[in-house]
Structure formats: structure tokens, C-alpha cells
Chains A and B, each alone.
Chain A
Amino acid sequence: MVDFGPVTCAGCALLCDDVLVSDADGAVRLTPECPLGTAWFSERARQANAPAAAIQGQPAEVNAALTHAAELLRGARRPLLHGFDGATVEDARAAVALADRLGALVATGGVEALWPGAPAVPLRGASTATLGEIRDRSRLVVVWREDPERTHPRLLERLGFDGDSERMLAVVDDADTATAGRSGMQLRWTRERDLEALTILHALIGTRPPETVHARELDQPLSGLLESVRAAPHMAFVYGAGLTAGAGGQRRALALHELIRALCQERHAVTLQLLGPPGARSADDVLAWQSGYSGNVDFASGHPELVTATRPLDDFDVALLVESSGAAEIAVGSLPPGPDAQVWIRTAAAGVSARGTAHRLDGVPLALQAPRPDDAPTAAAVLTRLLEAVQR
């Protein structure tokens, strides 16, 4: 039996908005099926039974928690706002407003993961597209060192690879991933050779007559990919942290965008960046329009400054966690964030118990519905009250 729907699922950054939800005997089922979505919806629905707030681990009234959190923030020497995994546009707008007032640093990437460092797009740009463009036009889709079958379970379906298709799905990965198992072509080389592979592809795509590859174990896979690339009038490259994270990530990403730019001389080529957390794109977009910069932005000097260098976490004495991956919550305390947060406030989970707006990984804004509304405040409401409190 379908209880709700269609609704938008915020279980991952794909934000599928055709989801039917049934809830029989406490077991949530989503149609179409999706393990991430089911887990997300179940956890967020279950969270409604948690205490409304806590101070140093003890249940507390929300108002008392807000008062205590505001005191911590007012007294902060170097505050940090981070998280945003499940944040809506509304949450992010309120968070950046608070950061501006506090002079805080806003980190839209998780602080426990690798600091994202300098992105490649501002160096030379990019060519991108929404899901529908790739589904309807790309004859070749290359997934570069990502496994969306695990991280974005409906991606291939939404890109049109859910049945017989004359289109080619190629996967660059030396691991036997689930996505590679569905591909028509797997290109195996180690991650250390990605930059070399991208550079060789770039060098060879425009050569007339086609040259062969002479790069030892890259020879055969690159030759196959090159053939597919030359045959496709429209293609897409799907990439993510598998390419961009860690040392050399910016150079690898830049090499990909330069390859796409070169491909665009004679055909249409686009990229799609796989973002993990569903709130990542929303938070980044809001930060960009309110401050002028995306990524990590520091308001300490009274105006926004782009931060691209790694900052040691012990710089920060008070951290405010906005909508983590594990729960709909606002937590204020020291770093690293965890159960010892001095103040914790349960928030209404956008997409389950609160409405909101979120930006899909390709930038398309979508409404989130509230099939199971509850009385908890949204993160935006909590952050707005904190702003009012610290301004007093």
C-alpha cells in the first residue's frame, strides 16, 4: 500500500522525485526500490522519537538548548559552521547569515573527510548538463572511478541505462565494482595513471589520421575508449571524489575539463559531478550567491574570503554542525563533532517531516515534501533563532 507519494527522496544527491513510500508494520518500502533511500527515510522517520534537545548529553527543552548554544557561539573566538549533508536551501541561507554575523568559517564539505582544497573549475571552466540532457543525447557515458550503483543507486536508470540500449556505458576503474559489472567497456588502470590517461586522450582526440596509443598497459583500454569517443556526437563523463580527492586531485580534474573542452571542438561533451551528500549542492550554491565564493568561506575579517588551504581543526574553538549525514540536527560543541556535543537539537528532517528546497547534483532545484510532519523545528528555524539570540 502506498502511503505517500510521489515525493522527493533526499537519500542521496540525485533527489529522485518520483518516489512512492509505503510503511507496512514499521518497514518502509520505496518504489522504485532504492537501498539508500529506504535507509534514509527509515532513519529520519525513526529519529522523530528522539529527544527534542540535549545539553551535555542530558535531555533538555529546545529553548534552553538554544540559549546555551547562543552563549557558546557568542563567546566563540573562532567558530566553524560545517556539515550540510542534509541541508536545504533554506537551512543554508540561515546558516550563512549566522556565519556572517559570527565571523565564522563555513565549510560546505565535511570536516572529517579530506579538506576539498582548490577546485579545478575556476581554473578553466567546465561543460556540464542536467540528467535529462545526458539521458537523451549522450551516446557514450564514461563513469570515471565512481561506483554509482552503490553511492547513487538509481543514477544509471535515470541516465537511461535501465534496459536495452544502443548507448555505450564505459567505466574507468581497476576494481570490479557493481557499476563496472553493468558497463559495456571497463577500462582498467590504477588511479595513479589517471592524469596520464586523460592527457593522452586529450592529445590524441584531434589527431588526423588517428594515432595509436603507446603507453604500455594503457594502450589497449585507451584505444578502445578513443574509438568510442570518436564515434559519439554527444558524450558525458561522470566523475567525483574518485578523481578529484587527495593529492593531485585538482590536476586530474583540470585534465578532465581540458579534455572535455577539446572534445567540444567537434562534438558535444559534458560532465556530471557525483556529489555524495544530498545537501552539498544546495549549501554550496547558497554560499556562492550570498558570499560570492563557494566551497569553504571565512567571514572572520568581516567579509567573505575564499579558503582553499587546509586549516587545522584545532583552530576552531566552537563548531556548529548543520544537518549531518547521520541525523537531522544542529549540534554545537568542540571538534571533532560527536556525541559529546555540548548542545544538540533535533530538527525536522527535510523531505520527511519538513518541507524545503534542495538542489540536485546537477543544479536542478526541487521541492522536498513532508509526508510525516512533526513538531521539531527545521534547521533553518533553529539557525534563525540562534542569529536573533547572538544579535541581542
Chain B
Amino acid sequence: MTAIRIAGGRVHDPANGVDGEIGDVCLADGKVVADVGPEARRLDARGMVVLAGGVDIHAHIAGPKVNAARKLSPEERRGHPMDRTELLRSGTGGVIPSTFATGYRYSLLGYTTVVEAAAPPLAARHVLAELRDTPIIDKLFLILMGNNQVLFELIRRSGGAASSELRDAVAWWLEATGGYGVKLVNPGGVERFKQDNGNVHSLDDEVTGYGVTPRQVLEAIGGAVDELGLPHPVHVHANNLGVPGNADTTLDTMRTLGGRQAHFAHLQFHSYGGKTGGQIRSRAPELIDYLSAHPEITADVGQVMFGPAVTMTADGPVSAALRDLGGDKWLNHDTEVETGCGIVPYTYRAGSYVHALQWGIGLELFLLGRNPWQVMLSTDHPNGGSFLSYPKLIRLLMDRAYREDQLGRANQRAIRRTALLDGVDREYTLNEIATITRAGPARRLGLRDKGHLGVGADADVTIYHDRADREEMFATPRYVIKGGEVVVEDGELRRTDDGLLFSSRAGFDPEVNRVLEPLFGERYTVSFGHYPVRDPALREPVHVVEAAT
């Protein structure tokens, strides 16, 4: 493995308190090291900005829902062909790229680790196979547990507590699938949708037929994840996504998790005021206030970007609502016992009141947030827009004049209902950008060797020309180094090694098999013994992160 000295760059490494200092970063054997010998390859980074590789804490890049979206919208990719070369596989780009294209394009942006944020455990083999075909980047996936009938039964038996059986079951599921963390999507609501198009509307609505409420699901599974000491806390897509007034539900959910570590996904979609049936308004400032007082909670924003998107979610009722709001295409898929899935291709328009307000609310969350370690960058790719729009989003945060120009192009009635015209003159610094795109997500994921450039960190580094146009700067890294190897130079891919799969592991009592097997037998159409993924070709190469307990 090549030793590299990145010489003379301006280093932004907020995890280690480094804020723009000129210095060298040395890499050897896939790690950041204190020094390397004179034989090391020297990358002249004078005049350039050196950051750790990007870490995307919430995206949808692989698995049955992503693939269903590809099948649903072939026309979306016709204009984005990618030719094969001696080095690269061919593919297609667009909002939902093919797998190889996904790995290549994340790498070309300087991202080296990406989380697939919503995998049905039953489909783990499919998710793992797609991730195997997504090169270069390291990958993690979160498994969906918020509408799992077996877990509902365990929660009901325990009266809503995080029983030892439930903890063991959560750990068992992670071990069985290779998942990294636990995701709750509209707890209870997806199950109700699959029954008869129903939903839950408050945390205390009973999930018909199961004797549990969303609040109990949150408390029990959130508690189990916390008590297991998993590296990433429970990752919550709260109830009532997109519904006017849902900020009440979001705040109630945060209070319910009371004091536990938790990550809230795409907070922008959960920050709405207004009344049912009416128009949304922004309640982002309230949520930011709550976050500021509760450092145990983090969020990614789920920024809406004007242009094409594809909404894809395990939250079936949300997708059905989008269908009825004029969605041309709609795909629904119900996965037995565990979850649902809805897909609606979508376009966000600057002239639309709702879309402009969503865009503005996302910017409010970024710009009013006081702690960049708490509010992380995402577009909930591809729900709010493609990950390829990250450079533009970064420019919106770093360049006030550009932002104000863009504000002027959006629906003014919507923008006036945000705080963005109230003298919000904040411009993110490079260290803050490094925090919301690298250090913060890595720390929140419990990836100790990611997101920073201290000795012992993974040698995942991105080097940018320091351009005034931050969009151009972040779209075209000079070098991207992954695992100590230069994978991108001047916008060209040089290597396409496989990335690693990151899984987490928590101990559990094997007796839980006796609890789970009969519950599986009653519900699944797959045998209990065949459910766990054992095939090394799917699960390796893997880096296992052990739980803290």
C-alpha cells in the first residue's frame, strides 16, 4: 500500500481542533500516521484545502426500493449514460444511478462512506448484493424495525418496555442481516397502512391488532438500542412526515425518547406548522431551540433542492399522499411482517409555495442551528434531490450573496414565512462544512476512524482547490484518497477497489432463537433457519464495530 505525504495543504479537521492550519497529512497502510519516509508519494497541496473523506449519514442507494425506482423510471436515466472504460463499468446516472455509477459519483464528490438508511431486513441479501456492486466507498445500512410485527409482539408482552428479549431480538436481527443500525420509520403507521390504508396520527394511537402504540415502539426499541450500546443510536423517521403541524409530533417524539441518544432523519420534512388540510408553515426555529437544549439529539436536514427528485420511503402512507397530490407514477410494495415502501418521482419547483417553503425550512435548520455537530448535511437522497447537489447546497450555506440571489428566485410568499429574510447573514466556515459533512456524521455513527485526520484515522482524505465558487470547489476535488490509495485525480477515477461493509455487533442470548422461531413461523413465508445471511460473498469484506456493552 502506498505511503503518501499530503504536503502544505490547509487542513480542516474539526474533530481534532484543527481549523485551517497549514501542514502535512501523512498516510500509510490505509491509516493516517504521524510521519512517512522520503520514499512516500508527495501530493503538493499548497493552496488547497484538506478534509477527511465525506460521510453521508442518510441516503438511499441500494436495495429493493432503490431498484424498484430504477425500474419505474427508465426515462429518467436515458440522458445520463456512462460509458465503460478499461477501468470502469458502464452504467447510468440521473437521480437514481446504477450501482457502479453510485460508487463512482460519490467518490468523485469526495465522499468515502455512505449509509443506506432504510433496508428491509428480509431483503438483506438484496441490499448486500447491491452494495457489493457499489465500488470504492465504504457502506453501512440501517435495518427497518418500526413496523415489525414480531417486535410489536415482544413490546406488547413487556408492556412497552425494552425487555431483555427485545434487546436480544434487536441484536439478533443485526447479526442476521449484517446491518449497522436500527431505523424506525413512522412507527406503527406503516403497519396500519398495509392493513387497510390506515395510519397513526399521534404517538398514542393504537396499532390495530397489536396492542402497542408508536410511543411504546419508540420507547422500547429506542431503549433497546441505547441499552445495547450500539455505535449508532436509534435513527428515527418520525410519524406524520410532511403533514402540516407535524412539528408537534416531532417534538413529542423527541421528548418520548427523553434523554436517550437519538438521530432524527430528514428533519426538514418534520418541521412544519399549520393545521391539517391547510398549508404548511415553518416551525424550524422551535425545533432548533429544542435541539440546542438537548445535545443527545442529532439530525440530518433532508434539504430539498429545486429540480428532479424521487421520493422513496418505507412510509407507505406518505407515498400514497404524494400520489394523490398529483404524482404521475406511484409504486407501492408491502414487505411481510416488517415494512412497506412507496416511490413517487417528483420535481421541486422554486415557484411552488410548498416546495419553496420546504427549501427555506431546510436552510433555516442549517443557518439557525447553533451546533454544527448536531445538524448534518443530507438531501435524504434522492427524496429531496440527488447527492450530486451537495456542492450547490454547500455553496448556499457558505456564500450569503449567492443564497440571497437564490432566495430571490424562490416563491416569495413562502420565503417571507421563514426567518431567512430576517437578517440571517451566517456563512458556514470550512470547518463547519467539514463538521456537517464529515466529522459530525462519523461521530454520530460511532465510526471512530472516519471523519477526521488524526493519527489512526482511516486514510480517507479529500483535497480541494480553494476556489471562491464553493459549488465548483466541492464538485471537483483535486484528489480523493480512499483507504490510503488515490482514487480520484483531477476529476478522473484512478482505481475502483471494493469498499468495506461496516456492520455492528452486540451480544445476545442465543435462547432468543426459541422466542423468535415460533413468531417467525406464524408470520413469515421464509423459514427461520434460512432468514439469516451467512454467505461470506455477501457479508465480506466487513469491518465489525462492536457495541459498547
The interface of chain A, by Cβ under 8 A from chain B, is 6, 8, 17-18, 89-90, 93, 97, 100-101, 121-133, 135-137, 158, 233-234, 261, 264-268, 270, 285-286, 288-294, 299, 301-306, 355, 357, 359, 363-367
Contacts and interface: CB of A to CB of B under 8 A. Distances in A.
A303 B324 CA distance: 36
B92 A363 contact: no
B75 A137 contact: no
Given A89-B129, A137-B195, A293-B77, A288 B123 contact: no
Contacts of A233: 195-196
Interface string B298-328: 0000000000000000000000100110001
Interface of B: 62, 64, 66-67, 70-75, 77-78, 81-84, 89-92, 94, 96-101, 122-126, 129-130, 133, 193-197, 320, 323-324, 328-337, 343, 523-527, 529-530, 533-535, 537-538
A31 to B, nearest CB: 14
Given A133-B194, A290-B98, A292-B97, A270 B332 contact: yes
A290 B91 contact: yes
B89 A133 contact: no
A125 B343 contact: yes
B210 to A, nearest CB: 13
B320 A264 contact: yes
24 contacts: A8-B530, A17-B530, A89-B125, A93-B133, A97-B89, A125-B72, A127-B332, A133-B334, A268-B194, A288-B67, A292-B70, A292-B77, A292-B94, A292-B96, A294-B70, A294-B71, A294-B74, A303-B83, A306-B78, A357-B129, A363-B123, A365-B124, A367-B530, A367-B533
Given A285-B67, A289-B67, A303 B334 contact: no
A290 to B, nearest CB: 6
Nearest to B533: A367
Given A17-B530, A233-B196, A122 B73 contact: yes
Contacts of B123: 363-365
B70 A124 contact: no
Given A93-B133, A132-B523, A290 B71 contact: no
B126 to A, nearest CB: 5
Nearest to B532: A367
A317 B71 CA distance: 29
B438 to A, nearest CB: 28
B330 to A, nearest CB: 4
A124 B330 CA distance: 6
Contacts of B122: 130, 364
Nearest to A357: B125
Given A121-B331, A127-B333, A268-B197, 7 more contacts: A101-B84, A289-B67, A289-B99, A292-B97, A302-B84, A365-B125, A367-B530
A266 B199 CA distance: 13
A292 B332 contact: no
B334 A289 contact: no
Given A129-B333, A306-B78, A136 B535 contact: no
A364 B526 contact: yes
Nearest to A131: B525
B91 A292 contact: yes
A133 B331 contact: no
Nearest to B90: A303
A8 B527 CA distance: 10
Contacts of B84: 100-101, 299, 302-303
Contacts of B330: 124-125, 127, 261
Given A17-B530, A125-B331, A285-B67, A132 B90 contact: no
Contacts of B62: 289
A268 B534 CA distance: 35
A5 to B, nearest CB: 10
Contacts of B195: 137, 233-234, 268
A303 B82 contact: yes
Interface-central residue, B71, B197, B335, B534, by most chain A CB under 10 Å: B71
A301 B70 CA distance: 20
The 5 tightest CB contacts between A and B, nearest first, are A132-B336, A292-B92, A365-B125, A303-B81, A129-B334
A137 B75 CA distance: 34
Contacts of A261: 323, 330
Nearest to B126: A365
A133 B194 CA distance: 8
B129 A93 contact: yes
Given A124-B330, A267-B196, A285 B126 contact: yes
B83 A359 contact: no
Contact of A302 (B83, B335, B523): B83
Contacts of A101: 84
B72 A289 contact: no
A289 B70 contact: yes
B525 A137 contact: no
A164 B22 CA distance: 77
A9 to B, nearest CB: 12
B529 A6 contact: yes
A9 B423 CA distance: 66
B194 A17 contact: no
A39 B195 CA distance: 38
A122 B92 contact: no
A122 B78 CA distance: 13
Contacts of B335: 129-130, 133
Contacts of A129: 333-336
A48 B126 CA distance: 29
A108 B330 CA distance: 24
B91 A135 contact: no
A304 B90 contact: yes
Nearest to B331: A125
Contact of A367 (B70, B331, B535): B535
Contacts of B92: 291-293, 303-304
A17 B125 CA distance: 15
Given A133-B334, A133-B336, A137-B194, A122 B71 contact: yes
